[in-house]
């Protein structure tokens, strides 16, 4: 059993805000999500103290887009990084939102499976 909810940070554009809203709504018992709606991720771009604090806080960082390696984000060693490419979703917001809902639901389902058969959410 987890001692706390998983901490997920979504980075990248407006999709980060959408994914965060979905995650906090659908998985409020299983995870806590935050967003960094950064447009045009670049390794050389300066990172604010608040943004770096969010990156230190997160258990998992999910990049919504392409072009940045997790090593360029200066993440703690314990933090997992995943990339959900957005190239297939350009031009159709309803398709993007449906795909984000599917992926966030899968993420929550995985957390519930890890919880085991107790069915009780983390405290």
Residue pair 54/75 in contact by the 8 Å Cβ criterion: no
The CA distance from 7 to 111, in Å, is 11
- Residues 90-106 have pLDDT tens digits of 678 888 889 999 999 99
Hey, is 121 helix, strand or coil? coil
- Residues 44-79 have pLDDT tens digits of 567 788 888 999 999 999 998 765 566 677 788 899
Q: Which band of pLDDT confidence, cut at 50, 70 and 90, is reported for residue 114? A: confident
> Could you give the domains of the chain?
6-115 (3.40.50.2300)
- Report phi then psi at 114, rounded to 5: -65, -30
What percentage of residues in the chain have a pLDDT greater than 70? 77
Across the range 97-116, mean pLDDT stands at 90
Q: How much is the pLDDT for 92? A: 82
């Amino acid at each position: 059993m987890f001692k706390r909810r998983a901490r997920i940070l979504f980075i990248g554009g407006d999709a980060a805000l959408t994914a965060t809203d979905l995650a906090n709504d659908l998985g409020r018992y299983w995870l806590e999500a935050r967003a960094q709606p950064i447009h045009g991720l670049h390794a050389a771009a300066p990172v604010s103290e608040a943004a770096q604090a969010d990156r230190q806080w997160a258990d998992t960082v999910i990049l919504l887009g392409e072009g940045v390696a997790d090593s360029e984000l200066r993440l703690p060693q314990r933090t997992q990084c995943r990339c959900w490419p957005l190239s297939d979703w350009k031009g159709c917001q309803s398709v993007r939102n449906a795909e984000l809902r599917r992926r966030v639901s899968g993420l929550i389902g995985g957390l519930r499976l890890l919880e085991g058969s107790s069915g009780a959410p983390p405290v």
